[in-house]
Structure 1
């Protein structure tokens, strides 16, 4: 590697001491990616880092309220954050505490592949994992046609949906969906019940961040096909991408 400091997704030079041996991840998708690719490197993660299931590391609260003092006590070589998942104020607090932080920015599937490749090679100083190439191959095919007009709620009371410039929105496009609210200025717009149903041919209900189930969600979409899907398949940009397209495509086809 070059002697120059590596640069994270936001263009910030990050002074990383080599070799990287102790990592704290505050991003569930990337926690899974690091745990599977670099066993033993993770020393802590958030409560929301649910994969891999057998992950046994210390939990330093959540993505929006990390325990900065405890993270500092763990003396990590690097903390992994994400521009959307984590707050800027927490990134600043970590850096003010003398902790080295790498920030990712992921709003498309291609950005996910580029960001994760940079994370492993430039930040962690390891080889690009094989599963990343497998995931790229899985998502290389063009989207099916014709596109289906769809809505992807992420919350209810009030209803909030996936909109423009989002990873889930780009992934949905690759699955052959046209999000009817993607022309709104907000990335996750709030919509009324009437707006929620307008022009929709398919409702895709993930199980996170809101846990949509058979009894909570489908009843809001009378006479509209509904696909209940894994939120991890739809919104996580880690190893799940290897098989997510096949699972999601099957579920959408059957809806």
Structure 2
């Protein structure tokens, strides 16, 4: 079997489970370290000629990260695709299991079992802290409704103030974000790389949690360590 992944978290999942089938990945697929496969461009604009030249039996995509036009073009070329779109942690775990079965994994890998246990074993969170969760700046973009990252935070005791918005990624003004007087601002380091110097200063007087974007938004092997790591990063904000 020959697999091309256009989703960084799924690239990591395949590489740690059946590395021998992975023949291509995007330029943004950085895990596991030292991954040596053909590169096919970005997630949004992959080089489909390169993808097809690898003669894949299956291409992995995500409804949010990749474009429908590319999925349609691959199907038109006779290439099977598997599209994921988890909006909750349980959905992510289920879809990962389905994907691994599709690539011929002989059983559930240790990392997926560990991820299931890590999330099933979470303590009941304390009274939730109301938060805004920017994922971009200039313009400000925040988590809205039905997002995987929003569900991750909810399970860790963080209530997204924009979870009832009509859009999944609203673009409120900074004044609108401040006006909601959140208890916390959660600043991941991807897709926009928020740092201690770039982000917290926009929310004076509000605790800021700098968190790992990979552990907040990726669904794959990082899910096993995400609860403990993110909980520690959230707690560090006070």
**Number of the residue aligned with 1:176:** 157
- RMSD of aligned alpha carbons: 1.0
Q: How far 1:211 moved relative to its partner?
A: 0.7
Taking the aligned partners of 1:172 and 1:136, their CA distance within structure 2 comes to: 16
1:129 positional shift = 1.3
Note the C-alpha offset of 1:100: 1.4
Which position in structure 2 is the counterpart of 1:247? 229
Q: Structure 1, residues 81-110: CA drift from partner, whole Å, max 9, x if none?
A: 111111111000111112111111211100
1:73 correspondence with 2:65: no
1:61-140 to 2 correspondences below 5 Å: 61-121=41-101, 123-126=102-105, 127-140=107-120
Q: Does 1:150 align with 2:127?
A: no
Q: Does the residue aligned with 2:71 lie in a helix, a strand or coil? A: helix
2:29 corresponding residue in structure 1: 49
SS of alignment partner, residue 40 of structure 1? helix
Q: Which residue of 2 aligns with 1:199?
A: 181
Deviation at 1:142, TM superposition (A): 4.7
Maintained 8 Å contact 1:78/1:102: yes
- TM-score normalised over the length of structure 1: 0.89
Q: Secondary structure at the match of 1:251?
A: helix
Distance 1:28 1:143 in 2: 31
Give the TM-score taking structure 2 as reference length. Answer: 0.96
Instruction: Flag as ranges the 4+ runs of structure 1 deviating above 4 A.
Output: none
Equivalents in 1 of 2:85, 2:197: separation in Å? Answer: 35
* C-alpha contact 1:206 1:228 (8 A) present in aligned 2: yes
Shift of 1:199: 2.6
Q: Which residue of 1 aligns with 2:40?
A: 60
Q: What runs of 5+ residues in structure 1 fail to find an aligned partner? A: 1-20
Q: 5+ residue gaps in structure 2?
A: none
- State the Cα deviation string for residues 115-145 of structure 1 (Å, max 9, x = none): 0001111x11222212111101111125411
Once residues 57 and 239 of structure 1 are traced to their aligned partners in structure 2, the CA distance between those partners, rounded to angstroms, is: 19
